[in-house]
Chains A and B, each alone.
Chain A
Amino acid sequence: KAGVTQTPRYLIKTRGQQVTLSCSPISGHRSVSWYQQTPGQGLQFLFEYFSETQRNKGNFPGRFSGRQFSNSRSEMNVSTLELGDSALYLCASSLGPDTDTQYFGPGTRLTVL
Chain B
Amino acid sequence: QQQVKQSPQSLIVQKGGISIINCAYENTAFDYFPWYQQFPGKGPALLIAIRPDVSEKKEGRFTISFNKSAKQFSLHIMDSQPGDSATYFCAVTRGSARQLTFGSGTQLTVLP
Q: Which residues of A contact B (CB under 8 A)?
A: 4, 31, 33, 35, 42-45, 48, 56, 58, 90, 92, 94, 97-107
Could you give 27 example pairs across A and B, Cβ below 8 Å? A33-B98, A33-B99, A33-B100, A42-B89, A42-B102, A42-B104, A43-B44, A43-B102, A45-B101, A48-B98, A56-B97, A90-B44, A97-B96, A98-B98, A99-B98, A100-B32, A100-B34, A100-B49, A100-B93, A102-B46, A102-B98, A102-B100, A103-B45, A103-B46, A104-B43, A104-B44, A107-B42
Please name the residue on chain A nearest to B33 by beta carbon.
A100
Question: Using Cβ atoms and an 8 Å threshold, which residues of chain A touch B45?
Answer: 103-104
How far is A81 from B89 in the complex, measured between Cα atoms in Å?
A: 28
How far is A97 from B96 in the complex, measured between Cα atoms in Å?
A: 8
Residue B41 lies at the interface, judged by CB distance under 8 Å to chain A: yes
How far is A48 from B46 in the complex, measured between Cα atoms in Å?
A: 18
Question: Using Cβ atoms and an 8 Å threshold, which residues of chain B touch A35?
Answer: 100
Chain B at the A interface: SS class: strand
Residue of B41, B44, B45 with highest tally of chain A CB at under 10 A: B44
Question: Using Cβ atoms and an 8 Å threshold, which residues of chain B touch A42?
Answer: 89, 102-105
How far is A104 from B98 in the complex, measured between Cα atoms in Å?
A: 14
